[in-house]
């Protein structure tokens, strides 16, 4: 899902109701995009250094990147039964260990947003 805003949001402040970090093209990444930042040579979180510059107090989305060692949703649906549409399940990536699995969409998991199109 991509966040969109109306013309009234054109002059909105950074982090305001009409965007995040001054941008309005945020979306949930697909499972391939999310898995592309996994680094299986590190653990907890299992991401390359560029995607975890440290979860330090005072860091903002404009000057840091922080990846929690938790499970994050992707936008990719998963069909557990061949005739099922996939509407009930989606793939996730666990950044604690890099595992990729499906889960029911009713679960409360984290999301890591990305910007722009595919």
Tally the C-alpha atoms within 13 A of residue 46's C-alpha that lie toward its C-beta: 19
Per-residue pLDDT, 17: 62
To 5 degrees, how large is the angle CA 21–CA 23–CA 25? Answer: 130
68-109 pLDDT, tens per residue? Answer: 888 999 999 887 665 555 568 899 999 999 999 998 888 888
Contacts of 36 (CB under 8 A, 6+ apart): none
Q: What is the pTM of this model?
A: 0.71
6-49 pLDDT, tens per residue? Answer: 455 554 444 456 677 778 888 999 999 999 999 999 988 888 88
Q: What residue ranges do the domains of the chain occupy? A: 27-118
Instruction: Quote the mean pLDDT of the chain.
Output: 78
46, 38 contact by CB (below 8 A): yes
Per-residue pLDDT, 81: 62
Q: Coil, strand or helix: which one is 43?
A: coil
5, 12 contact by CB (below 8 A): yes
């Amino acid at each position: 899902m991509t966040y969109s805003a109306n013309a009234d949001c054109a002059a909105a402040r950074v982090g305001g109701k009409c965007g995040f970090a001054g941008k309005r093209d945020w979306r949930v990444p697909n499972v391939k995009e999310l898995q592309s930042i996994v680094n299986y040579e590190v653990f907890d979180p299992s991401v390359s250094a560029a995607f975890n510059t440290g979860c330090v107090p005072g860091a903002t989305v404009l000057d840091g990147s922080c990846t929690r060692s938790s499970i994050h949703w992707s936008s990719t649906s998963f069909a557990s039964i061949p005739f099922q549409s996939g509407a009930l399940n989606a793939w996730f990536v666990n950044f604690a260990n890099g595992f990729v699995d499906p889960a029911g969409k009713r679960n409360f998991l984290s999301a890591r947003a990305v910007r722009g199109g595919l």
